[in-house]
């Protein structure tokens, strides 16, 4: 079987590539990635040595390029990880998110319709549901929870999800959607919370925490996410959406303090800064459906996952040092340099 994995040079996509090569060695993996700021060929260095893996640099919103790839490669399954995915960047430049996340999805599905496909899988996010109140820990996002996006990023992902289901109903395209909670683990781009805190702490730099730091996220170790997607594309029901969550809810400030303890660094490095615009308060996934239908549950506790993640960043300094020494340095200054430091 041949899988076309878009966004495979990014964080979750690359982890999925390695999971598939390891667990389905007879399958072929065709990775398509535009190699924007978060795409990194160093991430795929190990995969490039595998004869079952092939990489093509292309933009999923480029209709001509996608048509040529599908015509030549005839993939059986498409897993679409390709996306602009950082909320802060979507607030600064929303139009880029609309092109990749909505138009790119449209182009991919049109190619699937034209050339035929066993399954098109859309990797989405729990952020399409909006947020939950901090004082209602009994509430969780279910697949039936109405979409209520809060940011340009989540609005673009929600739009893509609606388009996917429209193609299922209108064209009978065999689709599935997964909506995951916050991922963490190896190859995570440094702008995201956990790697940002690890890298800053290692340099004894201040750790910028938005607002009061009490925003709650459900943390999912990336390999657990990969096992869930693998189950969905092979055994999930067509036309269904599956929530993927880690049962690991933590406030952002608690996550930061956990990272500092793991690194033996003082909490005095924490610096509360002006909050993000429209910052959602709490995300929490109910994964009952995927457990009941496919037998999936996360196997990595947050404590275990953080230890693995910190160890990975300590062992792979060259990977992230190349990133933070380049264009990301100016982005970091833009995002955090002018934010007001709040009183403790």
Q: How far apart are CA 299 and CA 93, in angstroms?
A: 37
Residues 53 and 35 occupy one common structural domain: yes
Q: What is the mean pLDDT of residues 13-24?
A: 98
Residues 96 and 172 occupy one common structural domain: yes
Query: What is the CATH number for 259?
Result: 3.90.25.10
DSSP state of 4: E
Residues 152 and 41 occupy one common structural domain: yes
pLDDT of residue 153: 87
Residues 59 and 203 occupy one common structural domain: no
Give the pLDDT band of residue 328 (cuts 50, 70, 90).
very low
Residue 79: in which H helix or E strand, if any?
Answer: strand 77-80
Query: What is the CATH number for 52?
Result: 3.40.50.720
Q: How far apart are CA 236 and CA 69, in angstroms?
A: 26
Identified catalytic residue from 120, 129, 153, 242: 153
Residues 254 and 130 occupy one common structural domain: no
User: Is the pLDDT score of 342 beyond 80?
Assistant: no
In-domain check, residue 272: yes
Q: How far apart are CA 221 and CA 245, in angstroms?
A: 9
Identified catalytic residue from 127, 191, 249, 286: 127
In-domain check, residue 139: yes
Residues 30 and 68 occupy one common structural domain: yes
| Per-residue b or e along 65-101, where b marks 16 or more CB atoms closer than 10 Å to that residue's CB | bbeebbeebebbbbbbbbbbbbbbbbbeeeeebbebb
Residues 122 and 8 occupy one common structural domain: yes
- What's the pLDDT tens digit per position in 204-263? 999 988 888 888 989 999 999 999 999 999 999 999 999 999 789 999 999 999 999 999
In-domain check, residue 143: yes
Residues 145 and 259 occupy one common structural domain: no
Domain count, the chain: 2
In-domain check, residue 114: yes
Beta strands in 222-333 (DSSP E): 240-244, 249-251, 270-273
Does the annotation count 92 as an active-site position?
A: no
Q: How far apart are CA 19 and CA 24, in angstroms?
A: 8
pTM attached to this predicted model: 0.90
- Listed residue (249, 241, 246) closest to 289, CA to CA: 241
Does the annotation count 191 as an active-site position?
A: no
pLDDT of residue 86: 60
- What's the pLDDT tens digit per position in 129-161? 988 888 898 899 999 999 998 788 888 999 999
- What's the pLDDT tens digit per position in 268-309? 999 998 877 767 788 899 999 999 999 999 999 999 999 999
Tokens representing residue 14 in the block: 């690359």
- Listed residue (107, 30, 9) closest to 67, CA to CA: 107
Which range marks the domain in which residue 81 is found?
Answer: 2-184+220-244
Residues 161 and 147 occupy one common structural domain: yes
Identified catalytic residue from 126, 191, 224, 280: 126
Residues 176 and 130 occupy one common structural domain: yes
In-domain check, residue 122: yes
Does the annotation count 321 as an active-site position?
A: no
């Amino acid at each position: 079987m041949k899988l076309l994995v878009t966004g495979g040079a990014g964080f979750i996509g690359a982890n999925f590539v390695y999971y598939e090569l390891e667990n389905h060695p007879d399958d072929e993996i065709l990775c398509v990635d535009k190699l924007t700021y978060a795409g990194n060929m160093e991430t795929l260095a190990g995969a490039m040595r595998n004869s079952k893996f092939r990489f093509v640099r292309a933009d999923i919103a480029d209709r001509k390029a996608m048509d040529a790839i599908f015509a030549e490669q005839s993939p059986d399954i498409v897993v679409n990880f390709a996306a602009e995915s950082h909320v802060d960047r979507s607030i600064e430049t929303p139009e880029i998110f609309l092109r990749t996340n909505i138009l790119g999805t449209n182009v991919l599905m049109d190619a699937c319709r034209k050339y035929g496909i066993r399954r098109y899988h859309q990797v989405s996010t729990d952020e399409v549901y909006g947020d939950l109140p901090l004082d209602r820990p009994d509430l969780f996002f279910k697949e039936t929870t109405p979409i209520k996006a809060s940011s340009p990023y989540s609005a673009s992902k929600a739009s893509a999800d609606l388009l996917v289901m429209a193609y299922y109903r209108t064209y009978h395209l065999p689709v599935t959607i997964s909506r995951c909670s916050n991922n963490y683990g190896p190859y995570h781009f440094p702008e995201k919370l956990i790697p940002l805190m690890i890298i800053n702490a290692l340099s004894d730099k201040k750790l910028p925490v938005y607002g009061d730091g009490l925003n709650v996220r459900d943390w999912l170790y990336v390999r657990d996410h990969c096992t869930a997607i693998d189950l969905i594309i092979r055994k999930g029901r067509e036309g269904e959406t599956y929530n993927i969550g880690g049962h690991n809810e933590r406030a952002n400030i608690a996550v930061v303090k956990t990272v500092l303890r793991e690194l033996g660094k003082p909490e005095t490095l924490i610096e509360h800064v002006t909050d993000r615009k429209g910052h959602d308060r709490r995300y929490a996934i109910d994964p009952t459906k995927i457990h009941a239908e496919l037998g999936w549950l996360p196997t990595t506790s947050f404590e275990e996952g953080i230890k693995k993640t910190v160890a990975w960043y300590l062992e792979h300094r060259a990977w992230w040092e190349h990133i933070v020494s380049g264009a990301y340095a100016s982005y970091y200054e833009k995002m955090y340099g002018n934010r007001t430091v709040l009183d403790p």
